[in-house]
Amino acid sequence: MGRMMKTMDGNEAAAYIAYAFTEVAAIYPITPSSPMAELVDAWASTGKKNIFHQPVRVVEMQSEAGASGAVHGSLQGGALTTTFTSAQGLLLMIPNMYKIAGELLPCVFHVAARAVATHALSIFGDHQDVMATRQTGFALLCSNSVQEVMDLAGVAHLSAIKGRVPFLHFFDGFRTSHEIQKVEVMDYEDLKNLLDMKAVDEFRNRSLNPERPVLRGTAQNPDIYFQQRESANPYYERIPNIVESYMNEINRITGRDYKLFNYYGDPEAENIIVAMGSVCETIEEVIDYLRSKGEKVGLIKVHLYRPFSAKHFFQVLPKTVKRIAVLDMTKEPGSLGEPLYLDVKSLFYNSELKPLIIGGRYGLGQKDTTPSQIIAVYENLKSPNPKDRFTIGIVDDVSYTSLEVKEEIDTTPAGTIRCKFWGLGSDGTVGANKMAIKIIGDKTDLYAQGYFEYDSKKSGGTTISHLRFGKKPIKSEYMVYDADFVSCHNKSYIYHYDILKGLKDGGTFVLNCSWNERELEEFLPVQMKKFIKQHNIQFYIVDAEGIAQEIGLGRRINMIMQAAFFKLANVLPVDKAIDYLKEHVEKTYGRKGEEIVKLNYQAIERGINGLVKVNVPDHWANLEETEEEKTKDEPEFIKRILRPMARHDGDDLPTSAFVGMEDGTFPLGTSAYEKRGIAIMIPQWQTDNCIQCNQCAYVCPHAVIRPFLLDEEEKRNAPETFETKKAVGKGLEGLEFRIQVSPLDCT
């Protein structure tokens, strides 16, 4: 097709398109939508032009309530106005959404869909926020992947302008908003050609202006409110055809095939899923897998959720369908079913076809939705008594909604290279991986996907980067469970997490550590050693911290580890990789001076040369696993919940684990048990310098540095290495002073 390919995330794709059509952006950034607002703001400040040859005017308000009010006002002033939001932010916009829709104003909200705070806050993706707005009169358009965001965001703007109905364009928070994919970029010129400029002019002429004053936003009595509310029906009736015609235009440009509803699968399928969001990509992968085994399965992907066009739905529905499972990424307690499920049942109620219809919830708070879960949905669907209102992704042993996953199945197409990197929040791992994807995506024919798993501890928390590379677009919208390559950037993780879980036989493992082979023998956990030998893992070590300190990069190990990745992962020839890496360094750090560029060049070379292939001893295969010491005295909550969560096994906790704490109540004092041990450097008490001011304790935000006083007996009983000094200050006579650091709590 020859159009430009670029690696970017969903937020960047949405912001790129939104910028084209936006005259005013009224913003109040909120996770995971923030980068959209931030990018638009950044571009505007560099003077980037929209399709009207103007930079966007960006206004940041005091909250999302204010942002939506500013959107409303700006639209009435005749400016094409856009905002970006998520979750609680979107909830605050609801009152203005009714007004904007009621006044038929052509704006677009781009929403990185996210859970709303209930028993607990969740900053992660699901559709609870979007579903809370489905009654406002906005059109709701869903994009399922970064490429779809790029392709369909413009459809939202174009249709809103032509149809006079505001659009909420949404895609999955984090999973799409933060996933990096190699996508074909839409050209602003193409978009401009599609714009109904007459409609833009009419919109501008309708604006509130003293030159042609009108009255708008009146208070109406029961005599006319209802009639006027119904008089707008034709605008909604027109939207499906308007969206369809713009999708056809986009199809013409991109060569793809967007419809209001897209069908994927066997043309004579009996069992289909109806869904929207990134899960559709995974479902397609599963369908390819199941069809290769002869199963007649399919999927209807919802793009235009509101207005819901029954006609267009039935146009794509295979006549052979007997059973339908509807997946909703939301939960509405007390309802007869989640929204899409109710819609689909309503669709068929008066139709001749009367398939069995069941519904289920998935992915709440961004629970990872895997191919095996989707297979469970199809299995349930064809079982004699399919479970209705099921859940997937959890084990629900309280109300028994969950479907059983019988086996974990790998549906990723052959030839996909899958990599997993364990890093520490703010250690640079995620940034380095993004760079790697950009290099591979931009410099090769390979498609690339990068997804970054954070916990909400953010800085100092664990990050796991999930990277995939392949010859075909990558649809695996779930974590990497079967890896070809695992890299661990923090050696303490090997004691806490099952780092190698899922690493394939013969796969590659790189550990950043300062150990030599003898020390490996001593320090590596038995299970890891056994796994390495038994699965014939290609095991490498590199002393990235040592190298970084040696060449003067301090704690910044990311370039070293990235070079090691390019050396080992074989995604592209290592010489080329080095050239590209250096090119990227030049581009990124060039402005900071030659010194920095040189340092990074060194890091790349040392990363490649510093790699040591470990000669894995045969006896590792037969080591005896010592049973882990049971810490019997720990409180129930620690044993049952905190320990698995800390091990990254929280996903395995069943619902029953939370009985008695359904309202989100947790006990206090749990960090006394967590002891993450993530610090790379730890403060040391300098007895000679210490004036016992205790300021160090005062400033430590994690209370890791604490002063102690000891009496004579305590001092006597302390081990010899327990250094103290005479306490100074009135009333402290005869006491000893010590600053004690808690290394395992330190960040």
* Subset of residues 442 to 471 that bind a second copy, contact rule: CB under 8 A: 455-456
What's 393's DSSP letter?
A: S
Pick 138 or 263: Cβ nearer a second copy: 138
- According to the binding rule CB under 8 A, does residue 672 interact with a second copy? no
- According to the binding rule CB under 8 A, does residue 316 interact with a second copy? no
CA 375-376-381 angle, 5° bins: 100
Pick 188 or 314: Cβ nearer a second copy: 314
- DSSP, collapsed to helix, strand or coil, labels residue 43 as helix
Pick 659 or 709: Cβ nearer a second copy: 659
Task: Please tell me the distance from the alpha carbon of residue 348 to that of residue 343, in angstroms, as a whole number.
Answer: 9
Contacting a second copy (CB under 8 A), which of 92, 499, 537, 638? 92
Whose CA is closest to 64, among 99, 33, 90? Answer: 90
Contacting a second copy (CB under 8 A), which of 95, 318, 413, 546? 95
Task: State how far the alpha carbon of 217 is from the alpha carbons of 88, 203, 209, 236, 614, in Å.
Answer: 26, 17, 14, 20, 74
Whose CA is closest to 737, among 703, 701, 694, 699? Answer: 694
Q: In whole angstroms, how close is the CB of 234 to a second copy at the nearest point?
A: 6
- Paired residues of 417 in beta bridges: 469
- How far from each other are the two terminal CA atoms of the chain, in whole angstroms? 49
- According to the binding rule CB under 8 A, does residue 667 interact with a second copy? yes
- According to the binding rule CB under 8 A, does residue 101 interact with a second copy? yes
Q: At what angle do helices 558-569 and 429-443 cross, to 10 degrees?
A: 40
Map tokens 């086996």 to a residue.
407
Map tokens 């990074």 to a residue.
600
246-305: which residues touch a second copy (CB under 8 A)? none
Contacting a second copy (CB under 8 A), which of 193, 209, 231, 248? 231
- According to the binding rule CB under 8 A, does residue 345 interact with a second copy? yes
Contacting a second copy (CB under 8 A), which of 6, 41, 57, 118? 118
Task: Please tell me the distance from the alpha carbon of residue 330 to that of residue 676, in angstroms, as a whole number.
Answer: 33
Pick 2 or 210: Cβ nearer a second copy: 210
Pick 330 or 602: Cβ nearer a second copy: 330
- Paired residues of 161 in beta bridges: none
Q: In whole angstroms, how close is the CB of 702 to a second copy at the nearest point?
A: 16
Contacting a second copy (CB under 8 A), which of 238, 256, 322, 331? 331
Pick 337 or 507: Cβ nearer a second copy: 337
- According to the binding rule CB under 8 A, does residue 310 interact with a second copy? yes
Task: State how far the alpha carbon of 565 is from the alpha carbons of 266, 512, 540, in Å.
Answer: 40, 12, 11
Q: In whole angstroms, how close is the CB of 307 to a second copy at the nearest point?
A: 4
Pick 398 or 616: Cβ nearer a second copy: 398
Task: Please tell me the distance from the alpha carbon of residue 365 to that of residue 622, in angstroms, as a whole number.
Answer: 41
- According to the binding rule CB under 8 A, does residue 366 interact with a second copy? yes
Residue type at 744? L
Pick 105 or 603: Cβ nearer a second copy: 105
Pick 588 or 670: Cβ nearer a second copy: 670
* Burial label, 220 (beta-carbon count in 10 A; 0-12, 13-18, 19+): exposed
Q: In whole angstroms, how close is the CB of 270 to a second copy at the nearest point?
A: 18
Phi-psi region of 366 (alpha: psi -120 to 50; beta: other; left: phi over 0): left
Pick 398 or 623: Cβ nearer a second copy: 398
CA 588 to chain centre: 25
128-147: which residues touch a second copy (CB under 8 A)? 128, 131-132, 134-140
- According to the binding rule CB under 8 A, does residue 514 interact with a second copy? no
What's 336's DSSP letter?
A: S
- According to the binding rule CB under 8 A, does residue 122 interact with a second copy? yes
- According to the binding rule CB under 8 A, does residue 199 interact with a second copy? no
149-168: which residues touch a second copy (CB under 8 A)? 164-165
Backbone angles phi, psi at 513, to 5 degrees: -160, 165
Task: Please tell me the distance from the alpha carbon of residue 324 to that of residue 341, in angstroms, as a whole number.
Answer: 10
- DSSP, collapsed to helix, strand or coil, labels residue 497 as coil
Map tokens 């833009």 to a residue.
200
- According to the binding rule CB under 8 A, does residue 342 interact with a second copy? yes
- According to the binding rule CB under 8 A, does residue 703 interact with a second copy? no
Contacting a second copy (CB under 8 A), which of 182, 367, 434, 529? 367
402-441: which residues touch a second copy (CB under 8 A)? none
- According to the binding rule CB under 8 A, does residue 220 interact with a second copy? yes
- According to the binding rule CB under 8 A, does residue 698 interact with a second copy? no
CA 165-166-169 angle, 5° bins: 130
Pick 201 or 594: Cβ nearer a second copy: 201
The count of other CB atoms within 10 Å of the CB of residue 471 is 13
Contacting a second copy (CB under 8 A), which of 368, 427, 543, 736? 368
E-strand stretches of 231-386: 261-265, 271-275, 297-302, 304-306, 323-328, 356-361
Can you give 249-294 as a three-state secondary structure string? Answer: HHHHHHCCCCCCEEEEECCCCCEEEEECCCHHHHHHHHHHHHHHCC
Looking at 281-289, 371-379, 585-593, 662-670, which segment touches a second copy (CB under 8 A)? 662-670
The count of other CB atoms within 10 Å of the CB of residue 122 is 19
- According to the binding rule CB under 8 A, does residue 665 interact with a second copy? yes
Tokens of 289: 């897998």
Total residues interacting with a second copy, rule: CB under 8 A = 125
- Paired residues of 738 in beta bridges: 708
- According to the binding rule CB under 8 A, does residue 227 interact with a second copy? yes
Q: In whole angstroms, how close is the CB of 341 to a second copy at the nearest point?
A: 8
Looking at 41-49, 206-214, 468-476, 538-546, which segment touches a second copy (CB under 8 A)? 206-214
- According to the binding rule CB under 8 A, does residue 223 interact with a second copy? yes
Pick 666 or 708: Cβ nearer a second copy: 666
Contacting a second copy (CB under 8 A), which of 193, 228, 383, 459? 228
Q: In whole angstroms, how close is the CB of 115 to a second copy at the nearest point?
A: 7
Pick 29 or 365: Cβ nearer a second copy: 365
Looking at 4-12, 121-129, 144-152, 504-512, which segment touches a second copy (CB under 8 A)? 121-129
Looking at 234-242, 438-446, 483-491, 684-692, which segment touches a second copy (CB under 8 A)? 234-242
- According to the binding rule CB under 8 A, does residue 333 interact with a second copy? yes
Tokens of 225: 């409110």
Contacting a second copy (CB under 8 A), which of 45, 54, 248, 335? 335
- According to the binding rule CB under 8 A, does residue 742 interact with a second copy? no
Tokens of 218: 């009146």
Contacting a second copy (CB under 8 A), which of 399, 622, 717, 721? 399
Task: Please tell me the distance from the alpha carbon of residue 203 to that of residue 76, in angstroms, as a whole number.
Answer: 9
- According to the binding rule CB under 8 A, does residue 343 interact with a second copy? yes
Backbone angles phi, psi at 13, to 5 degrees: -60, -45
Asked if 477 and 503 touch (Cβ cutoff 8 Å), the reply is no
- According to the binding rule CB under 8 A, does residue 123 interact with a second copy? yes
534-593: which residues touch a second copy (CB under 8 A)? none
- 736-741 sheet: strands from edge to edge: 705-710, 736-741, 725-726
43-82: which residues touch a second copy (CB under 8 A)? 65
**Strand 503-512 to 167-172 pairing:** unpaired
Task: Please tell me the distance from the alpha carbon of residue 427 to that of residue 433, in angstroms, as a whole number.
Answer: 12
Contacting a second copy (CB under 8 A), which of 274, 364, 524, 547? 364
Whose CA is closest to 426, among 392, 457, 403? Answer: 457
- According to the binding rule CB under 8 A, does residue 527 interact with a second copy? no
Which H/E stretch holds residue 566?
helix 558-569
